[in-house]
């Protein structure tokens, strides 16, 4: 379902049959009740056909596959052989995490600090003028914060924007009841740019 080399998820599309999308093309992520091993998420994504569709993603595909742990294969032009990449990508990810780098991060507004996170904590992604509004449930305080980030910040593990926008608002516990409030806040230009040192 996830191609670590291309950085794309594959979903079915009723118009074109198959659609390959980046994580930044997701619009909503919702954990399905009753799923445990693996946990399954319902995602709504922006398809290349122009419509939004629903799909299902297992927890490991959402959080671990982008790190290349099930990387697939590539054609090594030096040896003319097809070789696996999972071990090399997995080792690279482990080395960076041990060095204190985190694949994804966001700024938790209630705590006033950057936090490491995985995509399973994302709740809502909304595209803007070249940026992406990202609602995240903090794994530490369990409250929702909204950041304005680049697409690369979401799509590329270990890419952290030097400057992000932060919505200065503490959202209610029921995030689904505040989605419209979030969209209004996103377009109100009330973002406070904060410089983050994530190195």
Domain boundaries, the chain: 1-100, 104-195
Q: Is the pLDDT of residue 168 over 90?
A: no
The beta strand positions in the chain, using DSSP E, are 2-3, 8-13, 17-21, 26-31, 40-46, 52-58, 73-76, 81-84, 104-108, 113-117, 122-127, 132-137, 144-149, 163-167, 191-195
How confident is the model at residue 194, as a pLDDT? 40
Element (H, E) at 6: none
Say which range, 33-47, 60-74, 123-137, has the weakest mean pLDDT: 60-74
**pLDDT value at residue 38:** 85
Least confident of 20-24, 164-168, 171-175: 171-175
pLDDT given for residue 183 in this prediction: 59
Q: What is the mean pLDDT of residues 91-104?
A: 90
pTM: 0.79
Helix/strand/coil for 137 = strand
Q: Is the dihedral of CA 144, 150, 152, 157 positive or negative?
A: negative
Chain centroid, CA 177 distance in Å = 22
Contact 126, 151 (CB under 8 A): no
Torsion angle of C-alpha atoms 108, 114, 119, 121, degrees rounded to 10: -30
Q: What is the pLDDT of residue 175?
A: 52
Q: Which helix (H) or strand (E) element contains residue 92?
A: helix 86-98
């Amino acid at each position: 379902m996830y191609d670590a080399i291309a950085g794309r998820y594959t979903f079915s599309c009723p118009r074109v049959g198959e659609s390959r999308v980046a994580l930044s093309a997701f619009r909503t992520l919702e954990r399905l009740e009753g799923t445990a091993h693996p946990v399954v998420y319902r995602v709504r994504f922006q398809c290349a056909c122009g419509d939004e569709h629903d799909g299902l993603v297992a927890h490991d595909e959402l959080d671990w596959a982008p790190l290349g742990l099930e990387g697939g294969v590539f054609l090594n032009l030096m040896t003319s052989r097809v070789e696996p990449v999972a071990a090399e990508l997995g080792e690279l990810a482990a080395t960076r995490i041990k060095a204190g780098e985190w694949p994804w991060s966001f700024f938790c507004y209630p705590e006033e600090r950057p936090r490491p996170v995985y995509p399973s904590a994302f709740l809502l992604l909304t595209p803007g003028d070249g940026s992406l509004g990202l609602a995240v449930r903090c794994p530490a305080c369990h409250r929702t914060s909204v950041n304005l980030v680049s697409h690369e910040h979401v799509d590329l593990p270990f890419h952290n924007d030097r400057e992000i926008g932060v919505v200065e608002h503490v959202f209610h516990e029921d995030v689904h009841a505040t989605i419209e409030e979030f969209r209004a806040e996103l377009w109100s230009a009330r973002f406070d740019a904060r410089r983050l040192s994530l190195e």
